[in-house]
Amino acid sequence: MRCALRMATRGFSLIELLVVIAVIGVLLGIALPVLGGARVTARETVGLSNVRETAMTFQQYADEQGAYPFVPRTTGLMGDQELIQLPWYPEGTLLATSDAWSIDRLWPGVVQTVAPFEEHFALWVSPGGDRELPDMFDWTAVDDRDATDQVSLTYSNSFVGDPKLWRDGAERDWSQYRAVRASEVAYPSGKAMLWDAHLAYVPGQLEQRDGHWDRGTPMAFADLHAAVKNPLAASEPVRNVLKDRRSVTLHDTAEGVQGVDY
């Protein structure tokens, strides 16, 4: 007489299935922020590398030209108003503005001899931002990327002005808007030169105060080291008599390039 052994099988009950789904949901809830944070950290590291490499380009320019990137004001073609005029991309495009301090974002037009747009543009845009080369319509109503907003790396106004501009009793004299030599920077490791003003890789809404995001920002200093620092933690800004806009940290450092941000 043969006996057959039969194993009993049993499926998941509805309650057990719901428990499994709930556990998976909890695990995903824990893992996703961690993965998101890792991606932000990775892009922040890329941003640090980009800003440092661009600072090295500025140093190369200073070595060749004797001073950091700068363009003097000149009389415009359509009147006697003084403007800064500089080439842009594509070749043949010329930008002109009466706001000389806009060189903080328009500096790519100055450094073309050492950093052509085609080769360096991606370095100048915050990781996660629009890295497509601009076309000649990007700074008109056809595209919402204004010329001053096409690059993310911002150049401190301290490097295009005589340190006297940021001292008490300074006179409103436009001859003090000038090129700055590397030898004039008193504390290179403490004076920020470039920083990522977009932080395109940071998810959600950022809080902006006094012209900066209230968050750690990749920035490069005059000694070419890079670090993540909150711009709002920098030394208090002071008035620049040649500016009609409010004072901003990193731009309006007391004593200019002879001062300290951190």
By CB atoms closer than 10 A (0-12, 13-18, 19+), residue 58 is: buried
The number of folded domains in the chain is: 1
Residue for token digits 């990137």? 69
Q: Which residues contact 50 (CB under 8 A, 6 or more apart)?
A: 123, 124, 127, 153, 196, 218
Chain centre to alpha carbon of residue 70: 18
Tokens of 261: 């941000």
Measure Cα distances from 7 to 10, 52, 79 in Å. 10, 68, 97
Residues above pLDDT 70, as percent of the chain: 81
Confidence of residue 121 (pLDDT cuts 50, 70, 90): very high
Q: Is residue 30 part of a domain?
A: no
> Does a cis peptide bond (omega within 30 degrees of 0) precede residue 69?
no
Q: Name the residue range of residue 189's domain.
A: 40-258
Q: Which helix (H) or strand (E) holds 234?
A: none
Q: Which amino acid does the sequence have at 150?
A: Q
pTM metric for this prediction? 0.83
Q: Which residues contact 80 (CB under 8 A, 6 or more apart)?
A: none
Is pLDDT above 80 for 67?
A: yes
Q: Is residue 250 part of a domain?
A: yes
Confidence of residue 91 (pLDDT cuts 50, 70, 90): confident
Region 226-244: mean pLDDT is 96
Q: Is residue 128 part of a domain?
A: yes
> What confidence score (pLDDT) does residue 31 get?
52
> What confidence score (pLDDT) does residue 84 get?
94
φ, ψ for residue 132, nearest 5 deg: -70, 135
Q: Is residue 93 part of a domain?
A: yes
Q: Which amino acid does the sequence have at 170?
A: A
- Which stretch of 110-124, 184-198, 201-215 has the lowest confidence by average pLDDT? 201-215
By CB atoms closer than 10 A (0-12, 13-18, 19+), residue 107 is: buried
> What confidence score (pLDDT) does residue 131 get?
86
Torsion 151-154-159-163 (CA) sign: positive
Burial call 206-219: b when 16+ CB within 10 Å, e when fewer: eeeeebbbeeebbb
> What confidence score (pLDDT) does residue 132 get?
86
Region 84-91: mean pLDDT is 91
Is pLDDT above 60 for 176?
A: yes
Q: Is residue 208 part of a domain?
A: yes
Q: Is residue 27 part of a domain?
A: no
Torsion 75-79-84-90 (CA) sign: negative
CB atoms near residue 181 (< 10 Å):
13
Q: Is residue 79 part of a domain?
A: yes
Region 111-122: mean pLDDT is 95
Confidence of residue 142 (pLDDT cuts 50, 70, 90): very low
> Does a cis peptide bond (omega within 30 degrees of 0) precede residue 90?
yes
Separation of alpha carbons 158 and 208, rounded Å: 21
Separation of alpha carbons 127 and 46, rounded Å: 7
> What confidence score (pLDDT) does residue 245 get?
87
* 200 closest CA partner among 218, 182, 186: 218
> What confidence score (pLDDT) does residue 34 get?
46
Polymer length of the chain:
262
Q: Is residue 32 part of a domain?
A: no
Separation of alpha carbons 225 and 256, rounded Å: 19
> What confidence score (pLDDT) does residue 18 get?
66
